[in-house]
Structure 1
């Protein structure tokens, strides 16, 4: 099988993944924005009721934890899709293009393995959490927290597959001068 056929097969899977990924990212950004607004309102209401009305409410801190967990996990998925997670890449950046890309593929394969495990176990524990574990003030099931982990891990697994395919394609069809490309993490002028 020649390179052209492999690239065609990768593109066959990559194009729908990219379209779905862009749609998922728009939903994730909307969820994060809504969650941030809700967090500000709930925290503000909690502060107002405690210090102005002198009637502290028990639910704003717990609600804030739920919202913050959702924002954190969904935000991690957005950052992964955008390839903006923090990394220490001093040695990898010094490698030639193909080696650097292969290291990136291995890292995302390991991440994909981890995400599959997280998906599997978070799915397993959500059922019992719906009936057995509840928050103290809101009485919401702890499964709502686990659901954010499950959804974020699904999104990150999809992103990892997309990144692996994109990187593998870039090895087969490298840019005009791949070694001239600098990763965004490299600080200019050093």
Structure 2
């Protein structure tokens, strides 16, 4: 799971860098060349969908997601462990929702083309079910590790 998470972070970082370059090219084209590329806005939006979902899945695996630890910190370790088990279960359910409804979304819009890019709208949304599946795998892995009393968060 660690290797998958590392690759998600790398793909997310590459997507962010590429999106920044595309927006930079759009600004340069608009203000210097007086002609910005027609594909740059939609291209950067598709990249953002991809890298945000990759980063979200990796963030859950790495334990760097936003959470409120106040409740967990204010109870005994036994109660905190139970809270973490419930949270991993809820996150797994959320991953299932992303997987199922994301797959339906991809299926419904697959025949529609993003005009400025010439690619399927469904391709833009592929990371939703893919990362939903990864979130389920990460949550189940975290749940099992917590159940066994092992350290859950990444090194």
Structure 2: segments with no counterpart, 5+ residues: none
Helix, strand or coil at the partner of 2:120 = coil
1:56 paired with 2:39, answer: no
The correspondence of residues 91-170 of structure 1 with structure 2, limited to 5 A, is 91-131=71-111, 133-170=112-149
Please give the root-mean-square deviation of Cα atoms over the aligned residues, in Å.
1.7
Larger Rg: 1
1:81 paired with 2:61, answer: yes
Helix, strand or coil at the partner of 1:84 = coil
- For the 8 Å contact 2:102–2:129, the answer to whether it is kept is yes
- For the 8 Å contact 2:103–2:128, the answer to whether it is kept is no
Give per-residue Cα distances to partners, 1:128-171, cap 9 Å, x unaligned. Answer: 3221x23242132221232111111111111101110111111x
Structure 1: segments with no counterpart, 5+ residues: 1-20, 176-190
Instruction: Give the TM-score normalised by the residue count of structure 1.
Output: 0.74
Give per-residue Cα distances to partners, 1:21-47, cap 9 Å, x unaligned. Answer: 112112212211221221122111111
Aligned length: 151
The ranges of structure 1 where at least 4 consecutive aligned residues each deviate by more than 3 angstroms after the TM superposition are: none
Instruction: Give the TM-score normalised by the residue count of structure 2.
Output: 0.89
